[in-house]
């Protein structure tokens, strides 16, 4: 596993992060094994949200940390807040109360990175700024970012907050790559030329923001994996051919395809399958050739003008 830096120059983080939204039903022994084997395979960055499992996922992770206190210093925790039933809420009160809840469930004194979970259409950026200042000054949160936000939304927020927004978590995979394909179809009158995100990739490169692709093995909106899916037969044939060439699995190759993008990427992988996590960890050491990257891109159904 390779490591990158984003929230602290002295703290390297795994190039691939683990999303913990599926661990809520784990037994103690399963959670202990998940944590220890993840660290053994090089993962040290764990992504949470206050809504995952209604808070149960953070509780399970926190309990595992307590039972395995020797691993506590090897873990970097990111969590998200802002989604409530039927609404988004970036109010100062909700942000502060959400962080307090996450700290309690995780059993930690501070959160390494806090992300605002999707855009709140009623956001008051000055209210967010006040919450961030309190959290930073109290030592409860070390760094901040967002998820699913456009360049303009980030700019508006960054104008008011004192902390640099270092992460934007966005859906991105081989089959959900319009934020990539629009860059190849500038001023083209086709579906792929429709820009849906304000050229987010270029913006994040210019601003030094890490992009965290979520659902990197999924197609559609969490519609299932494209790997082994008959609806993507040609893509899977190409993936198998190229995976054999690099001596990795198709799972690892799908992550290596994202890591080949020139901006700083840190995919969020939600699998709890320990064998799959081993396969994905190997992807960090693979650098696809440009020819192989484009071959996969075209096999996914995208075109070049």
Query: Which residues form the catalytic set?
Result: 52
d(C-alpha 99, C-alpha 39), whole Å? 25
Task: Quote the strand ranges of 117-227, DSSP E.
Answer: 141-147, 165-171, 210-214
Q: Give the CA-trace dihedral at 286, 180, 116, 70, to 10 degrees.
A: 0
* φ and ψ of 114, to 5 deg: -115, 130
> Of 16, 13, 18, nearest to 286 (Cα)?
16
Length of the chain: 305
d(C-alpha 297, C-alpha 290), whole Å? 10
Sequence-distant contacts of 122-129: CB under 8 A, at least 24 apart? 122/88, 122/90, 123/90, 123/157, 124/90, 124/91, 125/156, 125/157, 125/159, 125/160, 125/161, 126/160, 127/90, 127/91, 127/92, 128/90, 128/92, 128/95, 128/157, 128/160, 128/161, 129/160, 129/161, 129/162
Residues 6 or more apart whose CB falls under 8 angstroms from that of 228 comprise 236, 250
d(C-alpha 175, C-alpha 235), whole Å? 9
């Amino acid at each position: 596993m390779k490591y990158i830096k984003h929230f602290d120059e002295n703290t390297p983080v795994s190039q691939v992060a683990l999303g913990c939204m599926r661990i809520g039903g784990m037994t103690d022994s399963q959670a202990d094994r998940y944590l220890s084997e993840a660290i053994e395979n090089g993962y040290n960055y764990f992504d949470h949200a206050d809504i995952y499992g209604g808070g149960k996922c953070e509780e399970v992770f926190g309990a595992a940390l307590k039972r395995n206190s020797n691993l506590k210093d090897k873990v970097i925790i990111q969590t998200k807040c802002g989604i409530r039933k039927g609404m988004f809420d970036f109010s100062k009160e909700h942000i502060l109360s959400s962080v307090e809840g996450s700290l309690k469930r995780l059993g930690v004194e501070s959160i390494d990175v806090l992300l605002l979970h999707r855009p709140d259409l009623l956001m008051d950026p000055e209210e967010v700024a006040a919450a961030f200042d309190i959290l930073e000054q109290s030592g409860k949160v070390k760094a901040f970012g967002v998820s699913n936000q456009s360049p303009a939304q980030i700019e508006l927020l960054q104008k008011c907050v004192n902390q640099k927004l270092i992460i934007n978590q966005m859906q991105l995979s081989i089959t959900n790559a319009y934020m990539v394909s629009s860059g190849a179809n500038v001023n083209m009158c086709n579906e792929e030329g429709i820009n849906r995100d304000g050229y987010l990739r270029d913006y994040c490169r210019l601003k030094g923001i890490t992009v965290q692709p979520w659902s990197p093995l999924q197609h559609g909106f969490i519609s299932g994996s494209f790997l082994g899916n008959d609806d993507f037969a040609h893509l899977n044939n190409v993936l198998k051919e190229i995976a054999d060439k690099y001596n990795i699995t198709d799972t690892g190759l799908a992550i290596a395809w994202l890591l080949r993008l020139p901006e700083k990427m840190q995919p969020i992988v939600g699998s709890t399958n320990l064998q799959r996590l081993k396969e994905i960890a190997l992807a960090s050491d693979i650098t696809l050739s440009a020819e192989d990257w484009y071959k996969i891109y075209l096999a996914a159904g995208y075109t070049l003008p």
